[in-house]
Structure 1
């Protein structure tokens, strides 16, 4: 924490806010491939499949334009209209929950487990997972860059994106630049009933589907993502990442680890944990405790209650009973959320250039203690990457494709 303070407290508090214009240029398949429906079942994992499918010259398109050809909806169907009373919102959910696809099983979702096992059997140095429950239309440049950095440090790693919307022809075209280079990445539609089956969260899902549990004011996808990351790690083991994480070094040595977001400066003990990065072996028992806490104490009206604060509560209560390592904030959260904007700013004077150089040395070095950088998208998603900024240098140092970093 001292080294973190040394660097970031010196920077002037300037918050820049620019409109985010997301341009991701990706390859567009020919008409035969672009007509694959969202329920396609084949797993694409490398160049050999692409060569079989694409026969005509390909062109690049903006990500925003791709949504139109896939009949993508413009708003998230799981988020109710604004300004509803508690009673109105509960009634809105009660009417729509039976139709929310992610809460039930279909012919496609029932293939989830088999597709996952097939994908992970291809040989993975590290198994990574992300969850994307929003429309694929909203999967932007910053999210793609996070994926890009996974394969810089883990070229033999596997990344599975748990997502119905990305498990589509449009999702494939977003991921295609990575697939063309032979990286192992797959978007797969989840089977939530299967994931929670025989876990403490099974009763919670049934209560939600029967409208006995109020989803609350927090967007339901956020809390479903909190639950899915726990169940996926329990079923398969590996590393969970949020889509606003930039990977800075190899994760291979990490096991059964979570990161502290903050520590008490006097006692040096952690105070708050975060679930944006989690590393667990398959069937680790504390994941069951996390799911039990989720089911028994669920509150959809307090931000973070079923995520970072859930981990914090459980670890304070029973963490010492398990083999779990709590890493210091610099491991995954070396820059606080209220300081992240400084990393995007273009340097204007010599002092700022020196600060950038010092910051990069810390983030890329620091004795090998920094594994990733959380971008705190809620705070930084509208910020553009300034030329010569810390973010520009970090991305260029840790990406493979490195497209549209200034968007």
Structure 2
């Protein structure tokens, strides 16, 4: 307080010593600046003025984006180490920052997690869905909102729980409010990771990580925590896990204890790689314990996908036949592969392209009812715009509820 008073007195002394003409100049310059700014707004703000004259109302997504853009409280991630550290240096770096990593511990808020989940899931859910979101709420954009939009089109009586500290906030609530206003059941809830792994094979892994005995690797830890949390949530509560870059095309109600194959051997027609972007499991299914055991024993934070899709692939090849688990063909959740997804965003320019779009839509919306969702491979497609008349435009319009700002 004393230092602030000193600064105040210094400024007061400085201002009192300025000649009157200098103060007049400052005031006059300020007036000129705002006058120039006003003139600039007159010439560059024609579009805004036109909107005002037409009683312009922002779209839902513009409101969502404006609200989300204010969320700057989680821009830094204490779990991402500097590059080029050795394994020992990285472990020591991470150990020093453990107090900042809230998700690895329990707080008054996280301890409410289980009670909030039970209360939410007891509200008469036709089917239970889960997503995980570790990024700041300001990054929960149009594409992510679209996944929820199409989910409730196919499952109006379903419940969606978003496991997220950043979305479990006033700002996150307002992002989801358009869905709540329509009567859909969606809740963002801060996770309690120690509770989720308690009495599971992953408990030892978490303790090892917190004690500095486990190398988190150079891949951002939230990605691997997401791999783990989806397993623990399904084990504790049962239901359907979804990534946020999924368009839902069909009702999931008939699916039980299912994983989707990402690829198959063209010769044998047997699956080769599984993917964990969509998983459907009963509560306490034993294969989930095997997945968590594999996660704990073989964790490698330096190989992309090692603790996710490749983990499921390893375990299912080893013990999958011992359990009642259905491996669905790639068309179930991954009907368009990584290398071809960009074509579905493209606006048709010639007759041949329009013909191909019609054929693709017939396949995606039909195919004997074997296609449940379309994975968008967000790392490849997130910068692509939805072209008018494209496959994506038609799919979204056919399967959305709110359907705003789909061309983002």
Q: Normalising by structure 2, what TM-score?
A: 0.84
* Aligned residue number for residue 10 of structure 1: 10
CA shift, 1:72, in A, is 2.3
Post-superposition Cα deviations, 1:309-337, rounded to whole Å, max 9, x if no partner, equal: 00000000000000000000000000001
- The whole-number CA distance in structure 1 between the counterparts of 2:13 and 2:264 is 22
- The whole-number CA distance in structure 2 between the counterparts of 1:105 and 1:212 is 20
Do the aligned partners of residues 12 and 388 (structure 1) sit closer, same or farther apart at CA in structure 2, a change above 3 Å counting?
farther
CA shift, 1:300, in A, is 0.3
Do the aligned partners of residues 14 and 79 (structure 1) sit closer, same or farther apart at CA in structure 2, a change above 3 Å counting?
farther
Matched, 1:229 2:230: yes
Do the aligned partners of residues 393 and 156 (structure 1) sit closer, same or farther apart at CA in structure 2, a change above 3 Å counting?
same
Do the aligned partners of residues 348 and 22 (structure 1) sit closer, same or farther apart at CA in structure 2, a change above 3 Å counting?
farther
Is residue 244–residue 377 contact of structure 1 (8 Å, CA) maintained in 2? yes
* Aligned residue number for residue 336 of structure 2: 335
Do the aligned partners of residues 10 and 30 (structure 1) sit closer, same or farther apart at CA in structure 2, a change above 3 Å counting?
closer
CA shift, 1:93, in A, is 1.3
> Which range moves more in the overlay, 355-364 or 2-11?
2-11
CA shift, 1:7, in A, is 71
- The whole-number CA distance in structure 1 between the counterparts of 2:10 and 2:355 is 11
* Aligned residue number for residue 21 of structure 1: 21
* Aligned residue number for residue 75 of structure 1: 76
Do the aligned partners of residues 206 and 82 (structure 1) sit closer, same or farther apart at CA in structure 2, a change above 3 Å counting?
same
Matched, 1:293 2:294: yes
Do the aligned partners of residues 250 and 21 (structure 1) sit closer, same or farther apart at CA in structure 2, a change above 3 Å counting?
farther
Do the aligned partners of residues 334 and 208 (structure 1) sit closer, same or farther apart at CA in structure 2, a change above 3 Å counting?
same
Is residue 46–residue 182 contact of structure 1 (8 Å, CA) maintained in 2? no
Do the aligned partners of residues 389 and 41 (structure 1) sit closer, same or farther apart at CA in structure 2, a change above 3 Å counting?
closer
Post-superposition Cα deviations, 1:145-203, rounded to whole Å, max 9, x if no partner, equal: 01111000000000000000000011001101100100000000000000000000000
> Which range moves more in the overlay, 105-114 or 55-64?
55-64
Post-superposition Cα deviations, 1:47-93, rounded to whole Å, max 9, x if no partner, equal: 99999999999998544542464442334333234454544433331
- The whole-number CA distance in structure 2 between the counterparts of 1:11 and 1:354 is 72
SS at match of 1:258: strand
> Which runs of at least 4 in structure 1 moved beyond 2 Å after TM superposition?
1-36, 39-92
CA shift, 1:138, in A, is 1.2
Post-superposition Cα deviations, 1:15-61, rounded to whole Å, max 9, x if no partner, equal: 9999999999999999999999xx99999999999999999999985
- The whole-number CA distance in structure 2 between the counterparts of 1:95 and 1:339 is 43
SS at match of 2:61: strand
SS at match of 1:277: strand
Matched, 1:164 2:165: yes
Do the aligned partners of residues 102 and 125 (structure 1) sit closer, same or farther apart at CA in structure 2, a change above 3 Å counting?
same
Do the aligned partners of residues 124 and 2 (structure 1) sit closer, same or farther apart at CA in structure 2, a change above 3 Å counting?
farther
Q: CA RMSD in A?
A: 17.8
Is residue 43–residue 119 contact of structure 1 (8 Å, CA) maintained in 2? no
CA shift, 1:136, in A, is 1.2
Q: For structure 1, which runs of at least 5 residues remain unmatched after alignment?
A: none
CA shift, 1:346, in A, is 0.5
> Which range moves more in the overlay, 338-347 or 82-91?
82-91
* Aligned residue number for residue 124 of structure 1: 125
> Which range moves more in the overlay, 96-105 or 321-330?
96-105
- The whole-number CA distance in structure 2 between the counterparts of 1:107 and 1:381 is 36
Post-superposition Cα deviations, 1:238-287, rounded to whole Å, max 9, x if no partner, equal: 00000001100000000000000000011111000000000000000000
Do the aligned partners of residues 42 and 349 (structure 1) sit closer, same or farther apart at CA in structure 2, a change above 3 Å counting?
closer
Do the aligned partners of residues 25 and 285 (structure 1) sit closer, same or farther apart at CA in structure 2, a change above 3 Å counting?
farther
Post-superposition Cα deviations, 1:194-215, rounded to whole Å, max 9, x if no partner, equal: 0000000000000011111011
Do the aligned partners of residues 305 and 397 (structure 1) sit closer, same or farther apart at CA in structure 2, a change above 3 Å counting?
same
Larger helix proportion of the pair: 2
- The whole-number CA distance in structure 2 between the counterparts of 1:262 and 1:395 is 25
Q: For structure 2, which runs of at least 5 residues remain unmatched after alignment?
A: none
- The whole-number CA distance in structure 2 between the counterparts of 1:26 and 1:122 is 63
